[in-house]
């Protein structure tokens, strides 16, 4: 039996554990939805945050493997299996739980079968994307500079950050830390009109439609930068300054910052594809007459 490096694989399993725990929290939320409605939202918020914690483990395992010389085919396969759980199945299940719980409360009469198709399309496209990634990518550092297709962690971030924004607007009381309101919670207190007592019913099908759209982007050839590789490569002094202030913003208002960052990353690939394609077409000389 081949010897494997323990530390990066433990980090990968930490990613899978977060995904499984997120699924467990979503099931707990369903169980508590009738007797304790407030706990439903709290459990679902925890499930969403666990997906982001899984992203931390996912960001570390590959880097640690390459730094320690522990990169291997075993680790690559284990990483894909873990990503399929945490960034494919878990976000899809959490979304289905939220949409079908909130539908009757908001007057949205959706079809559970269509909800399942939307969620399954996201999860299955994540699996296909990861299988293709394993075949097309090697363990060399240069192979991780750019992605073809939306990375599954970024797709999961777009879904989960949207769910967190919904939960925050529905239940501003979730914006409490150590017994006192967060900066966003204080904004809700100063401007009560921001509180959404009754979210428009169209928000729920819009969230459901988001899943197959992101699923298609995952298996597309739209190019996206590798965020972790960009952060770890050498840059200017002001890059560090910008990152520090970005961390301050994340600390002050984590949910809005995560939402805007995730959606911005998704759109960035589409914008680059649109304008990059136009520039490439413009640079091609016309055929000789």
pLDDT digits (tens, 9 = 90+) for 27-70: 999 888 776 777 888 899 999 999 999 999 998 887 787 777 76
Q: Taking 50 as the threshold, does the pLDDT of residue 139 lie above it?
A: yes
- The H or E element that residue 148 is part of is strand 146-148
Q: Which residues contact 230 (CB under 8 A, 6 or more apart)?
A: none
Q: Taking 60 as the threshold, does the pLDDT of residue 288 lie above it?
A: no
Q: What is the DSSP string of 186-233?
A: HHHHH-GGGS-SS--TTHHHHHHHHHHHHHHHHHS--EEE-HHHHHHS
Distances 274 to 56, 112, 264, 279 between C-alpha atoms, Å: 31, 35, 15, 9
Band of pLDDT at residue 235, cut at 50, 70 and 90: low
Q: Taking 50 as the threshold, does the pLDDT of residue 218 lie above it?
A: yes
Distances 151 to 47, 192, 193 between C-alpha atoms, Å: 20, 37, 37
Query: Across 140-154, 175-189, 240-254, which has the greatest mean pLDDT?
Result: 240-254
6 CB-contact burial (10 Å; exposed 0-12 / middle 13-18 / buried 19+): exposed
What average pLDDT does the segment 255-284 reach?
A: 79
Report pTM. 0.84
């Amino acid at each position: 039996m081949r010897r494997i490096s323990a530390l990066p694989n433990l980090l990968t399993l930490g990613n899978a554990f977060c995904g499984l725990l997120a699924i467990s929290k979503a099931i707990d939320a369903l169980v508590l939805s009738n007797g304790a409605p407030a706990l439903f939202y709290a459990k679902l918020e925890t499930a969403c945050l666990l997906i982001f914690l899984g992203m931390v483990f996912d960001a570390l395992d590959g880097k640690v493997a390459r730094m320690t010389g522990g990169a291997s085919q075993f680790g690559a396969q284990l990483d894909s299996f873990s990503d399929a759980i945490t960034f494919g199945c878990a976000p899809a299940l959490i979304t289905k739980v939220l949409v079908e719980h909130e539908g009757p409360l908001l007057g949205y009469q959706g079809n559970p079968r269509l909800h399942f198709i939307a969620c399954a399309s996201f999860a299955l496209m994540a699996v296909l994307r990861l299988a293709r990634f394993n075949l097309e990518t090697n363990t060399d550092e240069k192979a991780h500079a750019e992605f073809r297709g939306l990375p599954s962690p970024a797709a999961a971030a777009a879904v989960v950050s949207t769910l967190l924004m919904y939960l925050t607007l529905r239940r501003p009381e979730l914006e409490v830390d150590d017994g006192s309101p967060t900066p966003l919670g204080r904004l809700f207190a100063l401007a009560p009109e921001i509180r959404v007592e009754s979210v428009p019913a169209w928000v729920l099908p819009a969230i459901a439609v988001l899943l197959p759209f992101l699923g298609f982007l995952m298996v597309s050839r739209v190019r996206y930068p590798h965020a972790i590789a960009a952060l770890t490569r050498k840059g200017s002094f002001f890059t560090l300054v910008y990152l520090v202030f970005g961390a301050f913003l994340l600390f002050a208002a984590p949910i809005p910052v995560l939402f805007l960052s995730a959606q911005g990353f998704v759109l960035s690939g589409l914008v680059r594809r649109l304008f990059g394609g136009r520039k490439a077409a413009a640079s091609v000389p016309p055929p000789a007459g």
